[in-house]
């Protein structure tokens, strides 16, 4: 399953990149979402780019999980979110994205690209969700893909809110 988003931000691409690679942004975003328990497993330059890896334990209400998927969630509910910015010097700015939840057998990975048009940053996200579990892998991927889809919408709204709070964009 593929999830794709084009999101416009009313500020320069370079400024958006600066925000998206700032530790304070992630701290504020986690606070906004009520996720106080998280930590940076990596945050900084690596041999292959600028790596941001955030880990947090999440509570998943099992009554909200379809019965076919419950056995795959298990007890390890550590959410890993990772961005590896491989191009930060010139546009298009590019990052590889990876997401994992415990030992759930679903791969979530993709690409983030930031460009600028008429003074506005444009972020393109292409995320692929895949599972190799026989028979029900496509169901698992679709279930996780729906969550990713909703999370990207929520993240966009929260990023705009953060940019407003920081005075980087107007309230309109």
Domains within the chain, CATH numbers bracketed = 2-165 (3.30.530.20)
**DSSP assignment letter at 29:** H
172 has pLDDT over 70: no
> Where does residue 22 rank: exposed (0-12), middle (13-18), buried (19+ CB within 10 A)?
middle
pLDDT band at 129 (very low <50, low <70, confident <90, very high): very high
108-115 mean pLDDT = 97
Q: Helix and strand tally (H, E) in the chain? A: 4, 7
Mean pLDDT (the chain, rounded):
89
Sheet with strand 107-117: strands edge to edge:
2-9, 120-130, 107-117, 93-101, 78-87, 49-57, 39-46
pLDDT over 70, % of the chain = 90
pLDDT of residue 171: 81
What are the phi and psi torsion angles at 17 (to 5°)?
-60, -45
164 has pLDDT over 80: yes
141-151 mean pLDDT = 87
Residue with tokens 């990596």: 42
Contact assessment for residue 158 and residue 165, using Cβ atoms and an 8 Å cutoff? no
């Amino acid at each position: 399953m593929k999830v794709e988003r084009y999101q416009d931000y009313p500020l320069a691409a370079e400024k958006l990149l600066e925000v998206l690679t700032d530790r304070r942004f992630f701290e504020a975003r986690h606070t906004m979402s009520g996720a106080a328990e998280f930590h940076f497993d990596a945050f900084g330059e690596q041999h292959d780019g600028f790596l941001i890896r955030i880990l947090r334990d999440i509570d998943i209400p099992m009554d909200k999980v379809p019965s076919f998927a419950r056995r795959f969630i298990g007890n390890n509910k550590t959410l890993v979110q990772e961005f590896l910015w491989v191009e930060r010097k010139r546009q298009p700015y590019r990052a590889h994205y990876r997401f994992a939840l415990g030992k759930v057998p679903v791969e979530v990975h993709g690409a983030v690209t930031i460009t600028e048009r008429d003074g506005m940053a444009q972020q393109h996200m292409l995320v692929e969700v895949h599972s190799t579990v026989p028979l029900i892998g496509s169901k698992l991927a679709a279930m996780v893909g729906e969550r990713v889809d909703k999370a990207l919408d929520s993240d966009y709204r929260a990023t705009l809110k953060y940019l407003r709070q920081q005075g980087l964009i107007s309230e309109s």
